[in-house]
Structure 1
Amino acid sequence: MKPDHALSADEARDVNQRRASSPMVVHEVVRLQGEEELKRPILSMVLSGMAAGLAINASLLTELYLRMRLPDTRWAELIFLLGYPVGYVIVIMGRLQLFTESTITAVLPVAAHPDWENLGRLLRLWSTVLLANLLGVVIVAALMANEVIITHDQRLIALDILEKLPRQEGLQTLTLGIPAGFLMAAIAWILPSAKGSEFWVISMLTYVIALGGFSHVVTGSSQSAFLWLNGVMSLSEMMADFILPALVGNVIGGTGLFAVLAHGQMRSDVKAAEQDADAAPPS
C-alpha cells in the first residue's frame, strides 16, 4: 500500500502548482489593480484622490472625539488610537485612491515591464493622487480651523492636544515614515486574500501605525495642516519637517522595501508564466 506522502510524479507536480499558485494569484491581482489605476483619466484620479483626502480626516476627528472623553492617562492612548483606522476603512473599502496604497499597486506593473512609458504613467499617478489627497486634507483642516464642522470649544481642545504631541524633525519623520509605507503596502498585498476580513486587516495594520507613532504623509498632514491654519506651525515647517520627509519615507517603505521584495520573490515565476504563455499554441 502506498504511504500518504509517496506521491506520483503527476501528483507531486499538481501539489507544486497549487502551492505556487497562491502568491502568483495575489501578485497578478495586485498588478492588475495597478494597471487599472495607471489607466485612469486625470479627472477620475483627482476626484477619487480628493475624496480620499476628505475621508481620511475621519481618523483625526474620531481620535479627537475619543481623547476629549478620556482621562489623561497612559492607558487612554490604547483607546483613543482606535479612532485612527476609521478614515482608512472608509478610503480603502470605498475604493478611493490613497497615495500610500499606490506605492505597491501601481509599482508592480512598472516592475514587471520597466520602460519609460510605464514610469511616466507611475509619476503621473503619484503626483496627481498625492496632490488631490493633500487638497482634501487641507479643505477639512480649514473647515475645522474656522469652526465650521467643530465647535469653538472642540477647536481649542484639539489645538491643546495637538500642540502637546512631540514635534519631529525631518530625518526622524522620514525614518518613521518607512514602516508606515511598508504596512500600507502590506494592506494592499493582503486584501486580495482577505475575503470577508478586509475590515479587520485594515483596522489591525493601521492601528499598528498609530501605536508606533509612524508617519503617514496624508493622515499626518491633517494634523500639520490644522496646526498651520491655526498659526502654530509655518508652511515651511510643515513641508520640511513633515510632508516631504514623510513622503520619502512612505515611498521607501512601500516601494523600496515591500514592492521590491514582493515582486522579487515572484520575478522568476512571473517570467516563467509569461514564457509559457508566449510558447503556448494559439487557440
Structure 2
Amino acid sequence: MKLQNIFRSKPQKVEDVSNEPKTVYHIFREQINTGLAVHNRSSQGLFASSLAAGLEVGFTLFLSGVLYTLLHPHISEYAMHLVIAFAYPIGFIFVIIGRSELFTEHTTLAVIPVLRGSASIKSLARLWSIIYVGNLIGGYVMAMILSGLGPTMGIISDNAFYHLAHNMVKYNWLVILGSSILAGWLMGQLSWLVTSSQETISRILMIVLITSLIGLGGLHHSIVGSIEVFAGVITSRIEIVDYFHFQFWTTLGNIIGGVVFVSVIKFSTIKFSEMKKKDKTLE
C-alpha cells in the first residue's frame, strides 16, 4: 500500500465565504458529506489521524497541569477551577481545527450517514473502533511523556496529576454516566456548530465556548479524561481499576449523549420537516 494512502489528510471543507447564514438543511448536508468522507477513508488513514488526535488533545492535560502547579499555592480552589476550565479547550482547538479524528466528534458525524441509509452499521463499528483505539493509544503516549517530563522539569507536579485524575474518578458509576452523557451531548452540539460556522475564528470561538463548559462543569470526556486518569495512575495513588471503571462508563455515556441527544433528535427533526414539505407539495 502506498505511503500517501496511509497518511492521507482528512477531507477538507471549502471555506464558505458567503455572508448568508447556513440553513439547517445546508448544515445537515455538510454533516452527511463529512461523515461519508470519514466512512470511506482507509483504516490506516483513520488510525494515523486518530493517533495524532490522541496526542494533540493531550495538550489540555499539559496546560491544565502547568497552570495548577504554578498557581495552586497562590489562588483559591474556586479560582483554580475556573483557570483549569478555560485551559480545557486548547487540545480540542488543535484537534478540530487541524481536522484530526476525535472519537467524540464521530458519535454524531459518523452516525448521521447511517441514519440516512448512506452507510452501514458495520462501517460505523469499524470507524468507531479504529478511532477510539487510536485516540486511546495516542493519549497513553502523551500521558507517559507528560508524567515523565513534567515532574523532572518541575513544570507539572505529581499533585497536579493526582488532582486532575481524582476529579474524574471520585464519583460512582451513575454520576459518571450522567456526566458523560452531558459531555457527549455537548460534543455533538459542537460538531453541529462548527459545521454551521463560516470562518475559522468562529469555529475556534465555538470550540472554546463548548469545551470550556465541559471543563467548568467537570463533565467526563472519554479521551481527555482517559489521559488525565492514566497519568494519575502512573504518577500517583490512582488505581488502575479506577481507570477502567471511569473509562467504561464515560465511553458509554459519551456515545449515548452524541447518538441519542444530537444525531437521532436532529435527524428526526429534519426528517419530519422533509415529510411535512412533501405533504404540502402533494396537496
Query: Structure 1 length normalisation: TM-score?
Result: 0.82
Residue 195 of structure 1 is matched in structure 2 by 198
Residue 210 of structure 1 is matched in structure 2 by 215
Residue 171 of structure 2 is matched in structure 1 by 168
Residue 119 of structure 1 is matched in structure 2 by 121
Q: 1:24–1:270: 8 Å Cα contact kept in structure 2?
A: no
After TM superposition, the structure 1 = structure 2 runs for residues 121-140 of structure 1, keeping only pairs within 5 Å, are 121-140=123-142
| AA matched with 2:270 | M
CA distance in 1, matches of 2:260, 2:152: 39
Residue 34 of structure 1 is matched in structure 2 by 35
Q: Deviations over 1:138-161 (max 9, x none)?
A: 001111223379625624342353
Counting aligned pairs with the same residue, the percent is 25
| Superposed displacement of residue 273, structure 1 | 8.9
Question: CA 1:251–1:191 in structure 2 vs 1: closer, same or farther (change >3 Å)?
Answer: same
Q: 1:224–1:233: 8 Å Cα contact kept in structure 2?
A: yes
Residue 226 of structure 2 is matched in structure 1 by 221
| Superposed displacement of residue 72, structure 1 | 3.8
Count residues with an aligned counterpart: 253
CA distance in 1, matches of 2:133, 2:178: 22
After TM superposition, the structure 1 = structure 2 runs for residues 1-283 of structure 1, keeping only pairs within 5 Å, are 22-70=23-71, 71-73=74-76, 74-113=78-117, 118-147=120-149, 151-152=153-154, 154-162=156-164, 165=167, 167-196=170-199, 197-230=202-235, 232-240=237-245, 242-270=246-274
* Structure 1 consecutive aligned stretches of length 4 or more whose deviation exceeds 4 Å: 269-274
Residue 281 of structure 2 is matched in structure 1 by none
Q: 2:162–2:235: 8 Å Cα contact kept in structure 1?
A: no
| AA matched with 1:184 | M
CA distance in 2, matches of 1:192, 1:237: 36
CA distance in 1, matches of 2:151, 2:56: 14
CA distance in 2, matches of 1:178, 1:164: 19
| AA matched with 1:128 | I
CA distance in 1, matches of 2:51, 2:60: 16
Question: CA 1:190–1:98 in structure 2 vs 1: closer, same or farther (change >3 Å)?
Answer: same
| Superposed displacement of residue 69, structure 1 | 2.6
Give RMSD over aligned pairs: 2.4
CA distance in 2, matches of 1:89, 1:60: 13
Question: CA 1:251–1:171 in structure 2 vs 1: closer, same or farther (change >3 Å)?
Answer: same
| AA matched with 1:77 | H
Q: Deviations over 1:16-50 (max 9, x none)?
A: xxxxx811111110011110111110001110001
Q: 1:53–1:134: 8 Å Cα contact kept in structure 2?
A: yes
Unaligned runs of 5+ in 2: 1-21, 279-283
Structure with greater Cα Rg: 1
Unaligned runs of 5+ in 1: 1-20, 275-283
| Superposed displacement of residue 163, structure 1 | 6.0
| Superposed displacement of residue 187, structure 1 | 0.9
CA distance in 2, matches of 1:150, 1:205: 33
CA distance in 2, matches of 1:37, 1:28: 14
Q: 2:68–2:160: 8 Å Cα contact kept in structure 1?
A: no
Q: 1:144–1:150: 8 Å Cα contact kept in structure 2?
A: no
| Superposed displacement of residue 260, structure 1 | 0.7
Residue 13 of structure 2 is matched in structure 1 by none
